[in-house]
Copies of this chain bind each other. A is one copy, B any other.
């Protein structure tokens, strides 16, 4: 049920043990094509010799693999370099800036964000539209998202990019291509992948329909943070994204922890206060009721449906020292700290990353959140000034994570996606 992603490229795979039959020649070659492609992507000035040294294959083997990747349009050559190797210059290899790509479509409660990512992971197209999806029929919401996605695909085509799949990022429990439960959209058991794929195909009668998959938006934002967030050595972290709801995700040793049913990470519905206000999920006192976007706006004396403009106003007022704004942020920070301290006691991560609307508010949310963590985390490793509590990177969001997940599948087995058959 893992949000459709139980494939071998997603999960931490089990080990190949010595008594298993040897992989056949074709399997090894496909694996090595992927390895060379990913190694080129990860290096600043990759050369055949440099890649060979890095992956432990012969120079001749790497050259043959590189030729196939160039012929298939995954790699291109770009100038010469003397770096790394003594003596002769090497030809610099780059992952192709055109050709295969991925598209990510985040459908959230009050916005839709679309991102197209190329094979190098660069975000080449970005579209964000603020709108209110609450109360709208799912068909209408998917229609809106498909129109924005179609515009992004047109921009991608102009840049000679060809997305091979779309990944939906949705604010709720996702399983088997459907939204099982998205309290803030008011959706229960709503099919997502098929309606979106059909709406998009209707807008693009020419090209073959894009395969569509779906995943929880906080999970995808956490993957974006892992891949593009500049986290350094941090491999295990809790990710929180503040939106209308509060989404969460757990990354353990560089792998998303999806849980037994794909529903892990729901920190928005961790209870902060025993007899707190009723939440849309049916429980009481959930974190969302203290630190969600509506709660923040309300506590600051702003219209709780004011959306992005309201959040910008909240930030402006906080910067100006407005008492109500500062009190609202302090209260939300304490609630975040209480929920996070429980999660940190359970999970013992290297870091906690706050994203979404929390990112620009960290100057005010950070200190009260950190104070609660210091008081409540039993390991004693947390303090208000600890670098363990950090804002998300502006380069990382759910739409980019979604698009990069499509690209990751291409990189994991380029032969399966090769636009031209290998020679």
Contact = CB atoms under 8 A, between A and B. Distances in A.
Interface of A: 12-20, 23, 27-28, 31-32, 35, 55-57, 173, 180-181, 183, 235-236, 248, 250, 252, 257-267, 269-274, 281-284, 338-339, 341-343, 345-350, 375-381
A364 B170 CA distance: 39
Contacts of A181: 378-380
A374 to B, nearest CB: 10
A278 B321 CA distance: 34
A266 B339 contact: no
B378 A260 contact: no
A31 B15 CA distance: 13
A180 B272 CA distance: 28
A378 B269 contact: yes
B19 A56 contact: yes
A338 B276 CA distance: 13
A31 B19 CA distance: 9
A19 B38 CA distance: 15
A283 B236 CA distance: 24
Given A281-B378, A375-B282, A260 B236 contact: yes
Contact of A283 (B31, B173, B258, B378): B378
A248 B346 contact: yes
Given A173-B379, A265-B348, A347-B347, 14 more contacts: A18-B23, A20-B56, A236-B259, A250-B347, A257-B347, A261-B381, A262-B348, A263-B348, A269-B377, A274-B274, A283-B341, A283-B375, A339-B342, A342-B342
Contacts of A17: 16, 31, 35
Contact of A263 (B263, B274, B378): B378
Given A181-B380, A259-B236, A269 B345 contact: yes
8 contacts: A14-B15, A181-B380, A261-B381, A266-B378, A271-B338, A281-B378, A346-B346, A347-B347
B346 A347 contact: yes
B348 A264 contact: yes
Identical copies in the complex: 2
A265 B27 CA distance: 40
Contact of A376 (B271, B343, B376): B271
Contacts of A258: 348
Contact of A349 (B260, B267, B270, B375): B260
B346 A250 contact: yes
A190 to B, nearest CB: 15
A249 B26 CA distance: 43
B16 A31 contact: no
A16 B173 CA distance: 34
Contacts of A347: 250, 257, 259, 264, 346-347
Nearest to A173: B379
Contacts of A15: 13-16
Nearest to A380: B181
Contacts of A345: 266-267, 269-270
Contacts of A349: 259-260
A28 B18 contact: yes
A261 B347 CA distance: 10
A350 B263 contact: no
B261 A348 contact: yes
A23 to B, nearest CB: 5
A270 B346 CA distance: 8
A228 B381 CA distance: 34
B274 A348 contact: no
Nearest to A272: B274
A92 to B, nearest CB: 23
A90 to B, nearest CB: 21
A248 B339 CA distance: 17
List 4 A-B pairs, minimum CB-CB distance, nearest first.
A259-B348, A270-B342, A264-B348, A266-B345
A274 B342 CA distance: 12
A392 to B, nearest CB: 19
